[in-house]
Structure 1
Amino acid sequence: MAIFAYNQIVSQARPSSAATSLTPPKRQLSFQGRLTDSGGTPITTAVNVVFKLYNALTGPTQLYTTGTCSITPDQDGIFNTLLGDTVCGAEITSTVFTDNRDVYLEITVGAETLTPRQQIATVGYALNSETLQGYPASSSATINTVPVVDNSGNINIAAPSPSLISSSGTFSVQGQVLALKTGTDSGGDVIFQPDALGSGQILALGGTTTEDSFRVTNANLTSGSLLSGYVGNDTATGRLLSLTSGSTETDRFWVAADGRAYLNTNATDSAFIVNQSGAGNLFSASASGVAKFTLNNAGIISLLDGVAHTLDDIAGNLTLTSNSTIISLNDNVTFAGTTTLNSLSYTWPSSQTTNYVLQTNGSGTLSWVAQSAGGSSNWRITAGALSPINDTLDLLVGSTASTSAKFAVLNVKTATWRPPRSNL
């Protein structure tokens, strides 16, 4: 008995369009042959045939066998069968074609094994209907599988903690709109980490001319921070925040690592503008949690109660001006050095004398002098009594000389009395 001729093809569907869901093809081989006897006469009765697959032209490395299949040729001895259709053998395992570069078919008719084995021409990854380079396709890809685009246009990766890794060059992701999102209700984070070793930057390069280049929104935020940054050491000398602008990049606003804030502007308007729409203070300052300075909503400056305060301009002059006619200084006020009132400067004395009055020399130097009608006085009034300020003076009435005075008390402190003249 002999095989006159045979053909084999891979049994597979030829769809007119892409499949709507992942359906792997059946692993079968369609085989056609012609049976004749040694004289060339067609065999038309049923015979037992065994089909086997090997990975070499000779040798015992068997990959698959159909077992005994009953084959009934037609009147010309021609027959067709499907290897692996469960009628003639179980389905061929995927590893037969994915793990072997070459596959050979061996046929046994009755008790006679036909030689040589015939190579399956589509092996060598050409017959790769279910796998790609040995990896099966999967709509929810796990490890060692090929991801596919599902009906919704998604590539699903079911493996835990997967990664997309580019070993060199620039890894680019491009789209009309890019969205990096975590799963609904997952509570997951979106992490940008350029380099775990500390080098590399996160760069956001925008091209808009009228929209915000970078915007963060959160309608659910209650007690957390919308933006938060942390420098995790005590030696940093750089900046926590830095904003620059200009055709030549110029610092405009920055916050140093120690918390100091700097503002740099060449604007013609105010460099720092505060607009309080509510009823709260315009500005408040504290030291170690203790309030020191407040500018309230009415424009009134309040300083810490019970503590002495100093307005010090370090050098030059300190000027208080008002658009109204009155500047009110309530409570105690201390002036040191030269004081200017209504454009007139005054230098104050370093001490004072009881019952003396303040007098200027016309050049702004102030001094304490005794009271008099002319600006100085030798008299004092104490407890309803009038007495000389200088107790060593003479009290004269009627003359400026003690010898001609009508009445005299010489040296009022020692009270030397001189009787009045007869014509007093």
Structure 2
Amino acid sequence: MNKRPLFLSVFFMIVLTAVAYSQHGFSIGTPSERSVPQLLNYQGYLTDTLQIPLDDTLDMVFKIYDASSGGNELWNETQTGVIIERGVFSVLLGSVNAIPDSVFTVDTARWLELTVGGEVLSPRTRITSVGYAYTATYSDTAEYARNATADNDWTRGSAPLDSVLFTADYLGIARGGAGNMLFGNDVYTHTNLGIACTTGTSGEDLVYCTVTGGYGNIAAWNGATISGGSSNTADSAYAVIGGGESNTASHWYATISGGWNNSAEDACATIGGGQDNTVINRYATIGGGESNEVSGNYGVVSGGDNNNCSAYYGTIGGGSQNYVGGSYSAILGGYADTITTGAGYSYLFGIAGKLTQDSTFMVDMPHIRFGDESTGYEFPAADGAADQVMVTDGSGQLSWTSGSSWSKWTVSDSVLYTKNRWGVARGGAGNVLYGTNTYTHTNLGGFQCATGVDGENYSYITVCGGYNNRGDSSYSTVVGGYQNRAYGASSFVGGGSGNTGGGYQSFIGGGASNTTSHSHTVVAGGLSNDAGGDYSVISGGRDNTAGAYAAVVAGGRNNSADYNYAVISGGYNNTAGSPYAVIGGGNANFIESAYSAILGGYADTIAAGASYSYLFGITSKLTQDSTFMVDMPHIRFGDESTGYEFPAADGFANQAMVTDGSGQLSWADIEDNDWIRGSPDSVLFTTKALGVARGGVGNILYGDYVYRHLNFGGYACTTGTDGSNWTYLVICGGYGNLADSSYAAVVNGIRNKARGQYSFIGSGHYNYTTGQASAVCGGRSNEADGFRSFIGGGYSNEAGDSPSDTAAVVSGGWDNSATARYSFVGGGKNNNARGLYSVVSGGGGSTAADSNSARGDYSVVAGGSGNIATNSYSTVSGGGDNTAGGSYSTVNGGWSNSTAGTSSIVGGGYMNKANGYTSVVAGGRVNTANNYYTAICGGYADTVNGHYSGALSGYSNLAGD
């Protein structure tokens, strides 16, 4: 035998009974009816030392003793060739050597010893009440039962634990009267607190399955966890679903945070939320959105709708109907763009564009611009004729022309009931409660679980179920699973295996071997992830690290974000090694400079010193500060049929870029230009300090310093204000644009107004900047009024409603507003961030009633619809119509839930309320925790009013007056 069994679970049952029931009541059988079969059904579960179930055929010896060790042997038999499949075997004891009924007598204890393959397993297993049904042969009439005493399954422990309630044997926990099902002979390791929910699978013998609330949820494999929601299914090892409806996590370590009808179908797959999203390959990630699909290993779709990533390490940032089929390729967003299967290591920016070529950076847009605010220019939309050169018209528009007339510059002079307070623990399972405050503990662990620490006096610790779980600090919680530990104050572990919650108010949803070591950290699921910085987040995946303040890793494998505010969306082996660094996905990418970004790809590096930079490449390295670098074998503008490709390297001095007429640009000597060559003779100079404007299109430059203006507007654009004297104003193009404060700039678009000093508008229509150093990148009718405020794009968004709203940010969306200092709205519609440092990540809806609102200072609404975080440090993770009203309170999801007490938590469900200080409602429906340190694990219409009181589950329970 090459494997040693480490763990044995056994179950006994009488095969036949001698009792019959009449139509209207109980009747006693005749002597011919009361013959009891001398057989016992025995079933066991065997694993090796690594907890791996055995698959083998072995001989087994069974013996019954009158003592747990030593003692007298009362019976034995040997069964040969017992088949073990996936660790499970089943035999009939007495089928070889009949068991006499004299073995089981009243007031005696019996133990079964098992020898497998010559190895005696220890300890012996005590035979419980069902084996004593052999004595049914003495039950001629009910007279034999007159002196029976009453019993129940709960007992009081002996001192010093006389304030603790224990169960009499191993138990699972399930809410009654709610149609819940626990399948398997190991159901004592399950926790099921929902309605019409199921843990385990019929015909299987699964362990550590957990459903903490909701309706119709199914946790159908070892270690699977569902926190709440409706009709969700986690049917693979250590799969996790946080909430939502109709979600399916069908492979090991798969994670779905919430949403509707999402499906994570392979190992370590991660879906953050949204609707109808599908991940069908390992380590892949979908952040949210609708109808998105990722089928490639380590692929990433951050959001949007109907996007499809089928490539290894492929990345789609968002948008609609985009497709990436080439490995290590990426589409940032947009509409209906396609990178085909053969186009690996490529990037596409377009509108319904298609890229088929390998290792290509392609921009297929009607307008393609390069350069900074003062010297930018727009490229032609198509290739030119053979031998033509690219020249500028002096107002930022490049075009093709013959060599003889390539330059025509003109100079002008004109810018969250017991009687007394008792602890509760399950008995006969090796559970332990430490400390003089154990009456405030709840320990319902399946086996060998502990609350508190020997020698310490922690309070309000909860272990709901599972095996060998520990809660080691005040207010810590472990819901279920195997060998999980919550040792940080107010820390939470939902399920899974080997997870460690060590940070203050930290959260682990499930998975295996995950760690949170700092305050307010989150690991939603996955395998071997470590959130090691305050407020850091890991959504799923494997072997990921978020090791600094507010660092984020969305998924993938072996990714590391170890600096403040660093972000990695997914992929494999990526490192964000500097503050505010961003990596979208891919493999082996590395950033060690602040505020820099790599979208995806393979083995790209932004080195130290190259801050504020962007890199698109293949095994490329960027060392220069404030640089946009594209290091690709092929760099194309326009589509593949009419676009053109740039040279791979620089030319000689004074050479110009020339096309061959079939889409390939090269360097060539140019015979003439209209600029005056100065000293040194490699520099072109104007003869005076001049402003530059495009003539003949109604452009206007105001002020005495117009020679410091650049106005390349397409038509009727204005730099400066009549009667004022602003300097260094820039308009690169567009129609009716205005720049009228010093250092303001408008790149393009229609009727945009840059009115704050150092303000910037990239493009779009009717955009407006009044705050100093504010910026609007594009979109329509957006307004940036706060000092250093920013709007990425979208429609009718507002960043700051006064100059004091420093650094307010709206990334995009529709009718969103960030109107407090350092507030942030990521996107969606009708969302608002009104508190200092408040955040709304997205979501919202078509009306103001659907909007998400972060109103308290440092408050967060991660998504959903109609959610409100009204107090300081309050959080709503998602769902709909939820309100986090207490400071430091959290609503994790569900619908119409609310928190009013400080540090209160609602895990999910529907219309639950956590009103007391540090109160908790884990899930269910219409439950209310009204006083401080109260808790409700789930159920329907339960109310807890007394201090330190709780309700496990059920319907319309009341704890406290």
Choose 1 or 2 for highest CA Rg: 1
The TM-score with structure 1 as length reference comes to 0.28
